[in-house]
Amino acid sequence: MTALQSTDFSCWIDCGVNLPPDNELARFRDELDAAEEQGVGRIVLIASDVAETRRAITFAEQDPRCIVTAGVHPHQAAQVNDSFIADLKTLSQHPSVRAIGECGLDYNRNYSPPDMQRRVFAAQVELAIETGLPLYLHERDALGDQLAILQPAMADLSAAFTHCFTGDVEALAAYQDLGCYIGITGWVCDERRGQHLAEAVPAIDSSRLLLETDAPYLLPRNVRPRPKSRRNKPQYLVHIATYVAERSAIESEQLQRTTYQNAMRLFGAW
For residue 185, the one-letter residue type is T
**Is 138 a known ligand-binding residue?**
yes
What percent of the chain stands above pLDDT 90? 96
**Is 102 a known ligand-binding residue?**
yes
- At 6-41, the pLDDT tens digits run 444 569 999 999 999 999 999 999 999 999 999 999
Burial class (CB in 10 A: 0-12, 13-18, 19+), 116: middle
In order of their start, the domains of the chain are 12-267 (3.20.20.140)
For residue 33, the one-letter residue type is D
**Is 163 a known ligand-binding residue?**
yes
- H or E element at residue 45: strand 40-46
Calculate the alpha carbon distances from 246 to 93, 159, 165, 188, 198 in Å.
Answer: 40, 28, 18, 12, 10
| pLDDT score recorded for residue 197 | 97
| pLDDT score recorded for residue 9 | 57
Alpha-carbon Rg for the chain, nearest whole angstrom, is: 17
| pLDDT score recorded for residue 6 | 43
Residue 190: partners with Cβ closer than 8 Å, 6 or more residues away: 220, 221
| pLDDT score recorded for residue 19 | 97
Three-state DSSP at 226 gives coil
